Structure 1
Amino acid sequence: MKKLLIIGIVIFITFFSLGSLVWFVHDKNILPNEKVHKTFTDEKVQDITISGKKANIKIVQGDKLKLNYNGEKPINYSIHNGILKISEKQKNDIAPTINPFKQNKQNMIIEVPKKKLQDINISTDTGNIVTDKLTAETVTIWNNVSNINFIKSRFDNIEVKAESTDLDFDRTTLKNGNVKIQNGSIAGTQSIVQDSVFIIENGNITLNKMADACDLKSFAKKGSISFSYKNVPKDTLLKLNPSDGKKVINNPYFKDEKVGNGENVLEFYTNHGDIKIN
Structure 2
Amino acid sequence: MSTSPAAIRIDRRDQVGYLVLSDPQRRNPLSKATMEAATAHLRSLDADRDIRVIVIAAHGPAFSAGHDLAEIVDRTEAEERAIFSACTELMETIHRVHQPVIAQVQGMALAAGCQLVATCDLAVASDTARFSTPGVKIGLFCSTPMVALSRAVGRKRAMQMLLTGQMIDAATAVDWGLLNAAVPAERLEQTVTELAGAVAGSSGETLAIGKRAFYQQIDLSEEDAYAQMTETMSANAVTRDAQEGISAFLEKRTPSWQPADQWSI
Question: Where is the strand percentage greater, Structure 1 or Structure 2?
Answer: 1
Does the TM-score normalized on the shorter chain lie above 0.5? no
Structure 2 length-normalised TM = 0.28
Using CA pairs under 8 Å that are at least 6 residues apart, name the structure with larger relative contact order, 1 or 2: 2
Structure 1 length-normalised TM = 0.27
Question: Where is the helix percentage greater, Structure 1 or Structure 2?
Answer: 2
Task: Work out which of the two has the higher radius of gyration on C-alpha atoms and give 1 or 2.
Answer: 1
